[in-house]
Amino acid sequence: MIPQRYANLLNIIYKNKSRRIMEIGTYNGAHATEMIEVSKIFYPAQTVEYFGFDMFESLTEEKLKQEFSKQPSTLIEVQELLNKTKINVHLYKGDTRNTLSQVKSSIGQVDFVLIDGGHSIETIRSDWNNVKDLMGQKTVVIFDDYYTNTEIEVEGVGCQTLIDSLNANDYEVQILEPMDSFAKEWGVLKINMVKVVKK
């Protein structure tokens, strides 16, 4: 079944006219292309910016399991795909526990962020700690992988612990519909995206 929740990304970028887009977990660049094309409805291509982070070909089998992840394309493959959009593409290869803190000050404030890289609680927390420094009053941050109502607890992965601990005085949090469900050998994995903005 095709996941339905990704439509949220395009709807939010359209509604907010987001121009500076960041994605933690670029993967194969397919959703990046779609997000960029929506931004291009409002802006000339050369003014749209995409900042993509992934381990790309450096992702090991061990890290893939640890991060509950998927095997990405190579950096060169993604770069070639995204070059077709004619926008400004910036790709950063490596573990975001290192790369994000190294480059965030050179990126500055962004309009839209998808946090969808490593799915371990530690990596999601580290990604959030860096991304929150890039938020302005209008920045929208979308977390993927909020696991709800799993018949069997998914331990050590997902953003639910972090999201549920955010300070309600500082952030407005919205669990987004629709939810996607996937049958696993241990039960049903149910996934929502979550929208976070500053109050």
Ligand X SMILES: C[S@@+](CC[C@H](N)C(=O)[O-])C[C@H]1O[C@@H](n2cnc3c(N)ncnc32)[C@H](O)[C@@H]1O
Q: Which position among 116, 128, 176, 191 is part of the footprint of ligand X (CB under 6 A)?
A: 116
What is the DSSP secondary structure assignment for residue 73, as one 8-state letter? P
Q: Sheet harboring 20-24: ordered strands across?
A: 88-93, 49-54, 20-24, 112-115, 140-147, 187-198, 171-184
Q: Which position among 21, 27, 51, 191 is part of the footprint of ligand X (CB under 6 A)?
A: 27
Comparing CB distances to ligand X, the nearer of 47 and 101 is 101
Helix (H) or strand (E) holding 146: strand 140-147
Q: Does 96 bind ligand X (CB under 6 A)?
A: yes
In terms of C-beta distances under 8 Å and separation of at least 24 residues, what long-range contacts does 63-70 make, across chains too? 63/95, 63/118, 66/118, 66/120, 67/117, 67/118, 67/119, 67/120, 67/123, 68/118, 68/119, 68/120, 68/157, 69/25, 69/117, 69/118, 69/119, 70/27
Segment contacting ligand X (CB under 6 A): 68-76, 79-87, 166-174, 188-196? Answer: 68-76
Query: Residue 30 is encoded by which pair of tokens?
Result: 């397919």
Q: Does 49 bind ligand X (CB under 6 A)?
A: no
Q: Does 52 bind ligand X (CB under 6 A)?
A: no
Q: Does 53 bind ligand X (CB under 6 A)?
A: yes
Q: Please, what is the minimum distance in Å from the beta carbon of residue 168 to ligand X?
A: 27
Q: Does 91 bind ligand X (CB under 6 A)?
A: no
Q: Please, what is the minimum distance in Å from the beta carbon of residue 118 to ligand X?
A: 3
**C-alpha to C-alpha distance for 110 and 73, rounded to whole angstroms:** 25
Comparing CB distances to ligand X, the nearer of 49 and 95 is 95
Comparing CB distances to ligand X, the nearer of 117 and 158 is 117
Segment contacting ligand X (CB under 6 A): 13-21, 25-33, 74-82, 103-111? Answer: 25-33
Q: What is the SS3 assignment for 129?
A: helix
Binding stretches for ligand X (CB under 6 A) = 23, 25, 27, 30-31, 53-55, 59, 67, 69-70, 72, 95-97, 114, 116-118, 123
